[in-house]
Structure 1
């Protein structure tokens, strides 16, 4: 994404209430959408320590040594190489995957700015390190007057950070978890071809058995059972395809995602700004929110048995009682239970 113009504060040190707002926003975002990787710990440190420094009337700027010590506990040696690796991640893959989600999270909190990090290079010699701080960036197209009016709702969802797909799904989806062209059709045609082959094979075997005058043997019965199982599975795959076309989004199969991934969806979408003739693309995406009741993470799950053929948000601490609707267009929902 392109960088936005930074908002400048009016205080002596260039920090004002905007900085407090974005630090609190980042802290809230990480409490639900953060993980234990070190680049998340860096952001957590910046959010907490920025609020602490501001409360003490100090400048919320941090050098590499302070950040590394807070994250790893190490106090000796050059921290530049260590931070350089994480800076590359934060300004590369992390920004590409999470910046839109952070913008929406901030917007849902009523802000027109969102938190990001900035490196301020030192003018000194080799012993002086650059300083890292939080900055407020303007949310594209956002203003207090032009804020998008959504129906009253209880929960907001944002795309979660980069997913871990299974080995074969990584072959079909690019680094943005998007499949287009022939890769998208590889998600569809094998299922339909499999259903057709099983159906034809079943019809042929049933016809062959009907021509036989001998009674059914145990072997014949076993073959019929296997045909029934394959037909059921092929029908299941075809139903998933039909549901994806009808609803535009379904929960991804377990074999498409990593072992510890939950709440991942397979979604059909069109890129922003595309015209009506642009073909839809398929992507793997994970939406998450914050439970307004207990502040736990809310992930998407099947609505059955109480809400058939619906994808709902279930609180990870109370998945049966704290249940919310999910609207993929507005990315918000209301309480169902």
Structure 2
């Protein structure tokens, strides 16, 4: 099994430091923890919870870490075995479909210095929190995770440097569909057309969609014909009202194109990012994909997502503006201009787009 699957944020084989802050029997000298335990106490957990709200994010890794802190607070006075949580328990507490500890580890390692600085400002100087991964093994024993206090000096500091170097390596990106059933479109017409999440090409709904696209286009074309025929028949100089009429046609045409260009681009490019006009205000980035199936081609709503290999936050697909508006690129929600990745619609893989390439950000 890969090392990243055995440890989330701290290498599991590293012993937890038995320093004064971890074993002092006096709770007042032990950061609020009961004596004889290496797990983080209430004061430390409250401080890290405050830091999470200060560095608020809705990425999957952030939600998992916050869930781990919240669940630890609920059982802060219990024994160590009850202060470790399985992946399934954390998934339910965080409200996410799935996650990988490798990504959560990367997310934390990139932010651990900021967290420690914040802890220092909260009178938790010298406290280094880590998330210890306890491997499973044997029948009915699954891997679990708990928040512990570590000693920042000595060999752990050298090990931490190696961990950060390993976590900072930028590898390939693997996209996967997420929460496609929960996609909500704006407007009753679009919601009805895609009520099943997809439209079969050639079906009645597809014919209605084409009619909805073509009717405004024909109307704009007729307005344009009327405008130019009127100019030719009157044989008069162009006046201000003519320019206003022409500007109105251009504005209407632009709105029409902005709304319906995903249908055209999906036909040519197989997948395209949906504009914000298609989605409700709180909806995550969504794509329209034209896919071949056994029963024929379909237009379907999808939401591809990945974990950023650089910082561990979520990566969502969007338009490749300004240089490649037709291209779909993945952008990290915490660094959308720096952590940019390609997207292969066939393999669902991606690679880091280097900043030296002009125009991609």
Normalising by the residue count of structure 2, what TM-score does the alignment of the two structures yield?
A: 0.51
Contiguous gaps of at least 5 residues in structure 1: 1-16, 25-30, 72-89, 110-132, 137-151
**In the alignment, structure 1 residue 158 sits paired with structure 2 residue 180:** no
Q: Does the CA-based 8 Å contact 1:155-1:291 persist in structure 2?
A: yes
Find the counterpart in structure 2 of residue 7 from structure 1.
none
1:321, CA displacement in angstroms? 1.1
Q: Does the CA-based 8 Å contact 1:291-1:298 persist in structure 2?
A: yes
Find the counterpart in structure 1 of residue 217 from structure 2.
195
Calculate the aligned-residue CA RMSD, in Å.
4.6
1:167, CA displacement in angstroms? 4.0
Find the counterpart in structure 2 of residue 305 from structure 1.
322
- 1:191 and 1:56 mapped to 2: Cα distance? 62
- 2:197 pairs, out of 174, 177, 180, with 177
- 2:287 pairs, out of 261, 265, 287, with 265
- 2:305 and 2:171 mapped to 1: Cα distance? 15
**Aligned CA distance change for structure 1 residues 33 and 310 (closer, same or farther; 3 Å):** same
- 2:230 pairs, out of 208, 224, 228, with 208
**Aligned CA distance change for structure 1 residues 207 and 285 (closer, same or farther; 3 Å):** same
1:298, CA displacement in angstroms? 1.0
Find the counterpart in structure 1 of residue 265 from structure 2.
243
1:22, CA displacement in angstroms? 10
- 1:235 and 1:225 mapped to 2: Cα distance? 15
**Aligned CA distance change for structure 1 residues 172 and 46 (closer, same or farther; 3 Å):** farther
Q: Does the CA-based 8 Å contact 1:199-1:231 persist in structure 2?
A: no
1:316, CA displacement in angstroms? 1.2
- 1:329 pairs, out of 331, 346, 349, with 346
- 1:200 and 1:134 mapped to 2: Cα distance? 71
**Aligned CA distance change for structure 1 residues 336 and 259 (closer, same or farther; 3 Å):** same
1:247, CA displacement in angstroms? 1.0
**Aligned CA distance change for structure 1 residues 59 and 327 (closer, same or farther; 3 Å):** same
* SS in structure 2 of the partner of residue 314 of structure 1: strand
- 2:311 and 2:59 mapped to 1: Cα distance? 12
Q: Does the CA-based 8 Å contact 1:249-1:268 persist in structure 2?
A: yes
**Aligned CA distance change for structure 1 residues 163 and 226 (closer, same or farther; 3 Å):** same
1:257, CA displacement in angstroms? 1.1
**Aligned CA distance change for structure 1 residues 307 and 336 (closer, same or farther; 3 Å):** farther
* SS in structure 2 of the partner of residue 208 of structure 1: helix
1:227, CA displacement in angstroms? 1.6
Q: Does the CA-based 8 Å contact 1:195-1:235 persist in structure 2?
A: no
1:222, CA displacement in angstroms? 1.4
Find the counterpart in structure 2 of residue 125 from structure 1.
none
* SS in structure 1 of the partner of residue 212 of structure 2: helix
**Larger radius of gyration between Structure 1 and Structure 2:** 2
Find the counterpart in structure 1 of residue 34 from structure 2.
none
Aligned residues: 231
1:199, CA displacement in angstroms? 1.3
**Aligned CA distance change for structure 1 residues 44 and 57 (closer, same or farther; 3 Å):** closer
1:195, CA displacement in angstroms? 1.6
1:34, CA displacement in angstroms? 7.7
**Aligned CA distance change for structure 1 residues 219 and 306 (closer, same or farther; 3 Å):** closer
- 2:85 and 2:259 mapped to 1: Cα distance? 54
Alignment of 1:267-286 (within 5 A): 267-270=289-292, 274-275=293-294, 278-286=295-303
Find the counterpart in structure 2 of residue 81 from structure 1.
none
- 2:246 and 2:324 mapped to 1: Cα distance? 35
C-alpha distance after superposition, 1:164-193 (max 9, x if no partner): 32242322222x522333333444332233
